Amino acid sequence: MNDETFMHRALLEAKKAYLKGEVPVGAIITLDGQVIARGHNRREELQDPTAHAEILVIREASERLRSWRLKGATLYVTLEPCSMCAGALVLARVARLVYGAPDPKSGAAGSIMNLVEHEALNHRLDVTSGVLQEECATLLRQFFSELRDV
């Protein structure tokens, strides 16, 4: 499978968040070409500021593998990770990050800072950006447009 196929799966998760009234961000983690974790934003549902899609899938993958080290794993997410999520990716030793839409307000994988490739840290991720960017961005724009109209 390729990056677009896996990003489509992350988009399905983002749509679940959208239907719940959550900011529509979805994520999956793959290892050896298999999805090992999937999730979406659940901050409103859980009333937890850390319940971002990336954090939830990192937790699920770690539980499944019985290890906090997610060596060789790839995280696919529909929106560029924030600093909290980027830091978690580094700490979890995720090998690769693939994201859809950039986040010019809080993106920490190249937009306002680049935590995931920072030379001072002991782990860096390979990053691929812009996969299904328009589909990912459209879902976010639609959500926020509807929110403003309420």
Active site residues: 54
Q: What is the DSSP string of 40-98?
A: E--HHHHT-TT--HHHHHHHHHHHHHT-S--TT-EEEEEE---HHHHHHHHHTT--EEE
| CA–CA dist 91, 2 (Å, integer) | 25
Q: What is the dihedral of CA 136, 33, 62, 102, to 10 degrees?
A: -20
| CA–CA dist 98, 79 (Å, integer) | 9
